[in-house]
Amino acid sequence: MTLNEPEAAVELELSDWPESTRSRHSDVAGIESGHVSFLPKGILSMGYKQAGGCQCLFVRYEVTEAPRLVYTCHCTDCQRITGSAFSLGMVVGIDEFKLAQGELSPLLRTASNGQVRKRWVCPDCGTWICNGNAHPASPSEEVIRVVRPGTLDDTSWLRPTVHFWTRSAQSWFVLPINDLCFETQPNNVYAFFASGGKEV
Ligand SMILES: [Zn+2]
Ligand SMILES: [Zn+2]
């Protein structure tokens, strides 16, 4: 296990997406992609929308489509940012995440490649809600947003099926059989997310 990964975390790559992928739209989540199904069976019949929010209830949001994929990231940046063993991410279309109440504050960070990244948090309790360059109420050129799915009201259906940076995963973490695992991350993680995991 490497304690100091030189690379940027997965969510820190999102603003690097090439123009060619920005207009790409994936099919509805839940479909089979190669050898792995990215969502538990039955999720498409749950219906959306899903609601969530921060710990102090100031921030509330809605998600109006099934996620394109749910993943874990075991990079050392995510371990440090979360103070935990890994982060969870849920990829949804940029217009499918709507702030319903409260406000989000950006936390800026300069990644190893010099680009500035944003994490959107509750200004009162600090709960990390999502990533993305644009404020959720502002127009954005991006096509997806990564939401921290542990902030959903109902997390009972959550099941990540893609795992990034497994080479720095905690030794006790057992990777689920048949899930899609990356020792690091796809070369173009933006395209990977936007395509619902089809474009590696
Ligand atoms: Zn990470
Ligand atoms: Zn809060």
Say if residue 199's pLDDT is above 70.
yes
Bigger pLDDT: 194 vs 25:
194
Closest ligand, as measured to the CA of 123 = 2
Distance (angstroms) between ligand 1 centre and the Cα of 160 equals 14
pLDDT at 49: 77
- The Cα angle at residue 132 between residues 59 and 98, in degrees rounded to 5: 40
Kindly list the distances between the CA atom of residue 16 and the CA atoms of 141, 149, 191, 193, in Å, as whole numbers in the listed order: 12, 23, 10, 12
Distance (angstroms) between ligand 1 centre and the Cα of 87 equals 7
Ion ligand 2: residues, CB within 5 A, are: 54, 56, 58, 122, 124-125
pTM of the model: 0.78
pLDDT at 39: 56
Q: Hey, what amino acid is at 28?
A: V
pLDDT at 4: 43
CATH number of the domain residue 150 falls in? 3.90.1590.10
Bigger pLDDT: 115 vs 183:
183
Let me know if residue 23 belongs to a domain. Answer: no
pLDDT at 40: 53
Number of H helices, E strands in the chain: 3, 13
> pLDDT of 66-105, one tens digit each?
899 999 999 999 999 999 999 999 999 999 999 999 999 9
Q: H helices within 12-96, ranges in order? A: 19-22, 76-82
Bigger pLDDT: 112 vs 53:
53
Ion ligand 1: residues, CB within 5 A, are: 9-10, 73, 75, 78
Contact criterion met (CB below 8 Å) for 129 and 121: yes
Segment among 8-22, 44-58, 63-77, 125-139 with least mean pLDDT: 8-22
- Give the bridge partners for 61, in sequence order: 52, 99
Cα–Cα distance for residue pair 57/21, rounded to 1 Å? 35
pLDDT at 118: 93
Kindly list the distances between the CA atom of residue 110 and the CA atoms of 33, 77, 87, 116, 164, in Å, as whole numbers in the listed order: 33, 12, 19, 4, 21
Cα–Cα distance for residue pair 70/185, rounded to 1 Å? 14
Let me know if residue 1 belongs to a domain. Answer: no
**Structural domain for 46, as ranges:** 11-18+33-194
pLDDT at 115: 78
The kind and range of the H/E element at 192 are helix 189-194
Q: How many CB atoms within 10 Å of residue 78?
A: 24
- For the four alpha carbons of 42, 97, 88 and 180, in that order, the dihedral sign comes to positive
Q: How many CB atoms within 10 Å of residue 190?
A: 21
Let me know if residue 5 belongs to a domain. Answer: no
pLDDT at 123: 98
Total domains, the chain: 1
Let me know if residue 128 belongs to a domain. Answer: yes
Let me know if residue 27 belongs to a domain. Answer: no
Let me know if residue 26 belongs to a domain. Answer: no
Instruction: Give the mean pLDDT of the chain.
Output: 81
Share of the chain above pLDDT 90, in %: 63
Let me know if residue 24 belongs to a domain. Answer: no
> pLDDT of 1-43, one tens digit each?
434 443 444 443 433 333 333 222 333 333 333 333 455 555 5
